Amino acid sequence: MNVSAAEMTKALITFDTTSRGSNLALIDFAQGLIEQAGGRCRRTHDASGAKANLFATFGPDGDGGIVLSGHTDVVPVDGQNWSSDPFDAVTRDGKLFGRGACDMKGFLGVALSLLPVIAKAKLTRPLHLALSYDEEVGCVGVTGLLDDLKREGIKPALAIIGEPTLMKIVGAHKGGAKLVTHCCGREGHSSAPEKGANAVMMAGAFVAMLESVWDELRADPDPRFDPPHSTVQATVVSGGTAVNILAKEADVTWEYRCLPDRDPQAILDRVEQRAVQDILPKYRARAAEAAFQTLIHAVYPGLRMDEDSPAVRLAREITGVNQVEAVSYGTEAGHFQSYGIPAVICGPGSIEQAHRPDEFVALTELDACAAFLRKVIAKAQT
């Protein structure tokens, strides 16, 4: 099998792996290629069995291996105005267009296109490929993969996460969580709002409170990040049944993105305290059952900066670049680090293109990534 990085990326894009669906067809495809090249594969699944992580090993068994890691899922294209079929990649003006082109099937396409190189390499330490599910909905899938490695006593020395960084070295990112706060009120006629508790109004007060918490977080910055502080914001609000009925229920979907060296629990505690002290008394005076109930739907840890980690040192050595950057978006790198596997982020394409219509990766970026990974493979032979 000798397929270019661009052609392999195109092939991966044809699999609609939007997070709400299955990724098994892509996993089957990748596993077939990997095993044909001599790799040893293991899978971990979600509870439904419709999604899977794939972890592949080349070279000797044992500790000290290098992981090349990427997620297989992509965000939806619903409501986006694409110039071409998002799942039938096309090349125009030196760019490859398609959903996931940069986030992050470009990296996976490069890695899989190098399977013939890996197969011929005389590896003295393990080289692993990790393909995960459901990164886009809160880095959900990779924890099962990492739990499996821990149970099996597989201890890689480091991981390279191929998220789009324009091949720059990223050594830190914020942690985050997706939360839903259920606002519980009491129904009544809207002509008598003080005889009930309007959950939609409660939700509005909760959203305003989140903004004030965000303002407070600005006082504790880290200039390496943009924005330089932790953030809190609501993204979806739903509730109510009719214009003349006080809403009994409403939901606020919100998130925090926390600097990796700060305590995210402190943010949750502050929000809960403000909700109970500043908002609830008004509504409980009208309805004793008024309440806020918050559930965490997904959470991922930040990646703490460690410029002396073996992952960062390897990326610096290969690229010849000393600067290590920090980003505000989340990745699976924080999970690898939390499991004791030093991690660095370096991959083709720009995060500015991710999740947008006409998402693309420049062909020159794929070439640069291929050159980078060839050097990684060479390092696994020393």
Q: Quickly tell me which residue has 């950057």 as its tokens.
A: 325
Q: Which residues contact 318 (CB under 8 A, 6 or more apart)?
A: 372, 375, 376, 379
| Alpha carbon distance 272, 264 (integer Å) | 13
Length of the chain, in residues: 382
40-45-47 Cα angle (round to 5): 165
- 3-state DSSP assignment of residue 66: strand
Task: Clarify whether 306 is annotated catalytic.
Answer: no
User: Which residue among the candidates 73, 134, 255, 359 is catalytic per the annotation?
Assistant: 73
**Which regions of 35-126 does DSSP assign to beta strands (E)?**
40-45, 52-58, 66-71, 90-92, 95-97
Q: What share of the chain is helix, strand, coil (3-state, %, to 5)?
A: 35, 25, 40
Q: For the chain, how far is it from start to end, CA to CA, in angstroms?
A: 25
**CA distances for 112 relative to 27, 39, 68, 158, angstroms:** 12, 11, 10, 19
Q: Is 73 a catalytic residue?
A: yes
Residue 3 C-alpha from the chain's centroid: 28
Contact 171, 207 (CB under 8 A): no
**Active-site residue, selected from the candidate residues 135, 163, 332, 359:** 135
Contacting residues for 4 by C-beta, under 8 A, at least 6 apart = 113
Tell me the H-state helices in the chain.
5-13, 24-36, 105-113, 115-120, 142-152, 199-217, 264-274, 280-284, 310-319, 333-338, 363-379
* Residues labelled as active-site residues: 73, 135
